[in-house]
Structure 1
Amino acid sequence: MVITNTIKSNYNQVGFTLIELIMVIVILGILSAVALPKFADFSSDAETSSIEGARGAVKSSSAIAHAQYLADGGSPASVVLEDITVVMVGGYPSANAAVVNICDAAGLDSADYTCTTASGDGTANSPRVMSIVLNGKTCGFTYTEPDFDGDPAAPAISALSGC
C-alpha cells in the first residue's frame, strides 16, 4: 500500500493583492496623464464658439433688418425688430455705438460682449466699423456698415481674430 502525503491548502483569496492594486493605480495614472491635456482646455473652445455664435447672430440680424427695410419701402431711417427700433444706414443696421445698432438687433448682451465703434464717422468714404469682442477677452470680429455714398452695399463682417 502506497501512502501519498498531500498537503491541502486552506487559503482562499478574498481580495486583491498589493501588487494588483499598485498596477491599477499606475495604469490609471498613465491614462489620466495622456487624456487630461485633451480635455483641460475647454474654456478657449467655449469662448471661440460663443463669439462664432455672436458673429452668426450679427449676420442673420443684418439680413433680417435689411429685409424689413425693403418691406417698409426701402427708405426708412429705422426699422422695428421685435420691439427694438434699429437705426439703419444704407439699408443695414448702424455700427454707431451711440444709437440702437447691430449689437442690439442681434441681441448681444452687454454682460457678455463689448460693442464699440472703432473707426469711421458715417460719412461718405468713412463708414463706421464696430468692434465686437467677448468681455475681458481679445477674441472678436468687426462689423462695417455700408459706405453711405448713395450706392448701398452689404455690410462687411470680418473673420474672427484674437481667438
Structure 2
Amino acid sequence: MNKSIRRFKQSTQAGFTLIELVVVIVILGILAATAIPRFIDMATQARTAKISAARGALQSAAALAHAQWVLTGSSAATVSMEGTGNVDIAFGYPSAAGILNAVNLSATDYSNVTTAGVVSFSEVPARANCFVTYTPATSLTVPPAIAQTTGGC
C-alpha cells in the first residue's frame, strides 16, 4: 500500500492542471486588452512628436540663418550656412526657397509642398491635418510664422 501511494503522488506532480492553464490564459488576455490601446495611442503621439521635431528644426534653421544674416551686415540676399550651402534671404530670414536649403529635412521622412509662398512639411506617408507650415517674413519687423497642425496625426 505504501508503494502505491508514493507512485500516485509522483504521477500527480508531472504538470499543470487545466484550471491553472486557463487562469494564466485569462490573466494574459486581460493584460493584452489593457496594453493594446496604449500602443495604439503611442503611434499617434509618435507622429505628433515627429511633426513637433520638424517645427523645432524650422525654428532653429530660421534663427541660425537670421543670425548669419545679421553677422554679415544685414544686407545680403543669401547667407552661407555650413552643410547646406547658400540660403536665400527675404527680410532677414530664409525665403520659401531658402528654408528648404536651411532646414535640410530628410526626404525619406518628410515631404514638402510650396503653395503661394508658404512651405508645408508633412511626414511620409502624408496624413491629412498632420503638418507644419513655414510662412516667410513679410517685413523686417515681422519674423516668419511657423505653425503646426496635429489634428490628424
Q: What is the TM-score of this pair, normalised by structure 1? A: 0.78
Alignment of 1:1-163 (within 5 A): 9-10=5-6, 11-12=9-10, 13-83=13-83, 84-96=85-97, 101-119=98-116, 128-135=117-124, 136-138=126-128, 139-148=130-139, 151-161=140-150, 162-163=152-153
Q: Partners in 2 of 1:40 and 1:153 — Cα distance?
A: 40
Larger Rg: 1
Q: Partners in 2 of 1:152 and 1:116 — Cα distance?
A: 26
Task: State the aligned residue count.
Answer: 145
Conserved 8 A contact 2:86-2:101: no
| Greater relative contact order, per chain length (Cα 8 Å cut-off, separation 6+) | 2
Residues 57-66 or 36-45, more deviating: 36-45
Question: 1:15 Cα deviation (Å)?
Answer: 2.2
Q: 5+ unaligned residues in a row in structure 1: which ranges?
A: 1-5, 120-127
**More helix by proportion, 1 or 2?**
2
List structure 1 segments (4+ residues) > 6 angstroms apart after TM superposition.
none
Percent identical residues:
43
Q: 5+ unaligned residues in a row in structure 2: which ranges?
A: none
Residues 107-116 or 73-82, more deviating: 107-116
Q: Partners in 1 of 2:105 and 2:87 — Cα distance?
A: 14
Conserved 8 A contact 1:52-1:160: no
